[in-house]
Amino acid sequence: MSNWTGILSLDLENRNGKTVAKRAYFQGALKVMRPIYHDDSGQVCYYLLNPGGGYLDGDRYRMEISVDAGAEVILTTQSATKVYKTPKSLAYQETEITLKKGSLLEYLPDPLIAYQNAHYKQKNVIHMETGATFIYTDILTPGWSPNGEKFSYNTVQLVTEIYLDGQLGVFDHIKLTPGKHSISGIGFMEGYTHLGSMIVVSELTNNSLLDELYEMIQEESTDFKFGLSRLPVSGLSIRILAHSTQLIERIFDNCHRLIKKSWFETVPSSLRKY
């Protein structure tokens, strides 16, 4: 445990219609703010913090999140995850999530910003039971560099594994290595600078919802490319290439709003941090 730069563990349960932490532990350069309840639904919201202000050479972080049956939680970050130059060793973060039947986790971190000479790897492993719902977004943004290059980081690797009832249902692997070769062409970023991913897993997923999402995204007039598809398990995936974080955030916010309204007849709470 001493090798981790920061550790965070949250175990959540439904207690009389309200989601509360039965165990909360953090150490080092990871912290969690006090729980926030945006409305009377009982769903809790936690803001994750890195007091160090960014990920540095050799930093290693681990999070463990467990959500019991009937519990509902939103996890987000206080600000963007900034990865600075890592000349000797990569910065690494791993997150292990366990979702019981009837639970809901909306994991909505702020964008990841990789600066010049950054080398970063992220691994998310989610264990779900049928009947649980998982909503996840991730946005990759190129950081500032002295010479103005858009892709000055060395490597960004994002791995997501989702197991449903013990069986691997989703394996999503993004690896961008502009430090070794150009990533601006076809099959990579295709002339765009920002990459967004949204993964939703729920037995409530159906083709009608995908049709609504597709039509709504197409209404956006700004220049971008996107793909929308069903997953091997009951769920969907959206990938967006664009020129700004704000555009991807707006599209994902609209998709999130449509999903919450369709499935839970609720409107997502505002996570505004400024």
Per-residue pLDDT of the chain (274 residues; tens, 9 = 90+): 468 999 999 999 999 999 999 999 999 999 999 999 999 999 999 999 987 779 999 999 999 999 999 999 999 999 999 999 999 999 999 999 999 999 999 999 999 999 999 999 999 999 999 999 999 999 999 877 676 676 788 999 999 999 999 999 999 999 988 877 777 766 678 889 999 999 999 999 999 999 999 999 999 988 999 999 999 999 999 999 999 999 999 999 999 999 999 999 888 877 765 5
CB within 8 Å of 100: residues ≥ 6 apart: 67, 68, 69, 71, 129, 132
16, part of any domain: no
Looking at residue 186, its pLDDT comes to: 62
What three-state secondary structure class fits 165? Answer: coil
**Residues making up the chain, counted from first to last:** 274
Q: Has residue 185 been placed in a domain?
A: yes
**Residue in the block written with tokens 């006090």:** 34
Q: Is residue 163 assigned to a domain?
A: yes
**By residue range, what is the domain housing residue 213?**
66-264
Q: Number of structural domains, the chain?
A: 1
pLDDT value, residue 52: 75
pTM: 0.94
Angle among Cα 143, 113, 128 to the nearest 5 degrees reads 160
Residue 165 lies in a domain: yes
| pLDDT attached to residue 148 | 67
In a domain, 188, yes or no: yes
pLDDT score for 142: 85
Give pLDDT, residue 2. Answer: 62
How crowded is the C-beta side of 167, counted as CA atoms within 13 Å? Answer: 6
Nearest alpha carbon to residue 9 among 82, 57, 63: 63
Nearest to 107 by CA among 271, 217, 242, 272: 271
Sign of CA dihedral 187, 190, 194, 195: negative
Number of CB atoms found within 10 A of residue 159's CB: 15
Beta strand 6-15 with 60-67 is: parallel
Residue 11 counted as domain residue: no
Q: Is residue 177 part of a domain?
A: yes
Phi, psi of 239 (to 5 degrees): -125, 135
